[in-house]
């Protein structure tokens, strides 16, 4: 395509119908326009693209290789167009706030759930769409506006070329939890009691792991690390089974007890996990994200232990 030339979507639509029907005549009947009109606009489309898209084969027109590529993309374009019409036809759309969230796989599930509960507190109907993925992949989706916000445990790295902005939501002290039997066994003389104690930890992909390792070193304890997990929910599940002690935000002590039978063993002093919202805006304007910020201002991360 010549530089600066825009694609004419009416021409593309006529090509799409011709390709589906297999002839200009049948396409003209379907579209209720003259055969000459379609032929002329197909010629203009091919000229603008610099490629032949259709070639005669007997009484039919068949796709060239360039035509097959163009048809595949046109299928996607007009499928999305149909979805757009259906979406806007929803009678409730004017009264619905849509929030598309990317959740970093290293973020504790209890934290993300609590944050999103705040987003659902708006008086308007909120449609929540959540995706979980690696931090880097989510930033890429955010930068092309596939997501409204990313919830994660780390800020955007320095030197990134992406135009996205980190907003610190808050932080929580980290405590070790365990099922009742383990908690009773290792609570006495904490943290010295942790030498040899079975511990479940997040992998080093998790931002808080380095702080935990430094805390062990500073307190001169050598626990038995019996498991490392990329998925925080899986770590908590194994903790509930009694396989070992496990770290979790102190602010979620009640949730940890209710969902994972986790009883506090002791706080890892000065080890804190931070939580961020990353957006395309320096100043967040989305009402559902603003509701999350308001909840945090009211003491979301206050300590429960």
pLDDT at residue number 1 = 43
DSSP per position, 2-67 = -TTPPP-HHHHHHHHHHHHHSSHHHHHHHHTS-HHHHHHHHHHHHHHHTS--EEEETTEEEE-HHH
Among residues 206, 260, 271, the alpha carbon closest in space to that of 236 is found at 260
Question: What is the Cα–Cα distance from 113 to 97, expressed in whole angstroms?
Answer: 18
pLDDT at residue number 117 = 84
Question: What is the Cα–Cα distance from 170 to 300, expressed in whole angstroms?
Answer: 8
pTM equals 0.63
Preceding peptide of 65 cis, ω within 30°: no
Both tokens of 264, joined, read 């506090």
Question: What is the Cα–Cα distance from 61 to 8, expressed in whole angstroms?
Answer: 21
Question: What is the Cα–Cα distance from 293 to 287, expressed in whole angstroms?
Answer: 10
Cα angle for residues 138, 143, 149 (degrees, 5° grid) = 60
CB within 8 Å of 14: residues ≥ 6 apart: 27, 31, 38, 41, 42, 45
- Integer CA distances (angstroms), 216 to 226, 229, 253, 270, 274, in order: 15, 18, 21, 12, 19
pLDDT at residue number 3 = 45
- Integer CA distances (angstroms), 142 to 108, 181, 288, in order: 20, 44, 16
CB within 8 Å of 202: residues ≥ 6 apart: 106, 208, 209, 228, 229, 230, 232, 235, 247
CB within 8 Å of 185: residues ≥ 6 apart: 193
The stretches of 123-172 forming alpha helices (DSSP H) are: 135-143
pLDDT at residue number 60 = 80
pLDDT at residue number 144 = 83
CB 248 within 8 A of CB 110: yes
CB 110 within 8 A of CB 233: no
Average pLDDT, 10 consecutive residues per value, the chain (305 residues):
65 90 88 90 91 86 90 87 69 69 87 84 82 90 88 88 86 93 94 96 89 96 95 90 95 91 94 89 79 72 50
Let me know if 21 is exposed, middle or buried by CB neighbors in 10 A (0-12, 13-18, 19+).
Answer: middle
Question: What is the Cα–Cα distance from 104 to 140, expressed in whole angstroms?
Answer: 12
pLDDT at residue number 301 = 58
- Integer CA distances (angstroms), 98 to 107, 122, 127, 149, in order: 22, 12, 5, 12
pLDDT at residue number 220 = 95
Domains defined along the chain, listed by start: 9-89 (1.10.10.10), 92-305 (3.40.190.290)
């Amino acid at each position: 395509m010549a530089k600066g030339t825009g694609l004419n979507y009416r021409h593309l639509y006529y090509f799409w119908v011709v390709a589906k029907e297999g002839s200009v005549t049948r396409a003209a009947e379907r579209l209720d326009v003259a055969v000459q009109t379609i032929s002329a606009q197909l010629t203009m489309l091919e000229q603008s693209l610099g490629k032949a898209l259709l070639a005669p084969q007997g009484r039919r027109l068949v796709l060239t290789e360039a035509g097959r590529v163009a048809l595949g993309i046109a299928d996607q374009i007009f499928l999305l167009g149909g979805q757009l019409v259906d979406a806007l036809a929803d009678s409730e759309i004017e009264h619905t706030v849509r929030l598309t969230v990317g959740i970093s796989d290293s973020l504790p599930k209890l934290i993300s759930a609590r944050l999103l509960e705040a987003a659902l507190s708006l008086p308007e109907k909120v449609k929540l769409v959540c995706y979980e993925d690696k931090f880097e992949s989510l930033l890429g989706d955010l930068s092309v506006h596939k997501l409204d916000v990313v919830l994660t445990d780390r800020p955007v790295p320095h030197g990134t070329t992406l135009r996205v902005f980190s907003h610190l939501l808050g932080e929580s002290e980290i405590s070790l939890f365990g099922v009742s039997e383990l908690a009773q066994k290792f609570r006495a003389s904490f943290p010295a009691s942790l030498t040899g104690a079975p511990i479940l930890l997040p992998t080093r992909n998790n931002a808080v792991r380095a702080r935990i390792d430094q805390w062990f070193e500073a307190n001169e304890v050598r626990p038995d690390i019996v498991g490392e997990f990329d998925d925080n929910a899986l770590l908590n599940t194994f903790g509930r089974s009694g396989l070992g002690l496990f770290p979790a935000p102190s602010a979620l002590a009640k949730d940890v007890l209710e969902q994972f039978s986790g009883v506090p063993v002791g706080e890892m002093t000065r080890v804190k996990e931070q939580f961020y919202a990353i957006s395309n805006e320096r100043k967040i304007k989305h009402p559902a994200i603003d509701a999350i910020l308001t909840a945090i201002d009211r003491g979301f991360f206050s300590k429960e232990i």
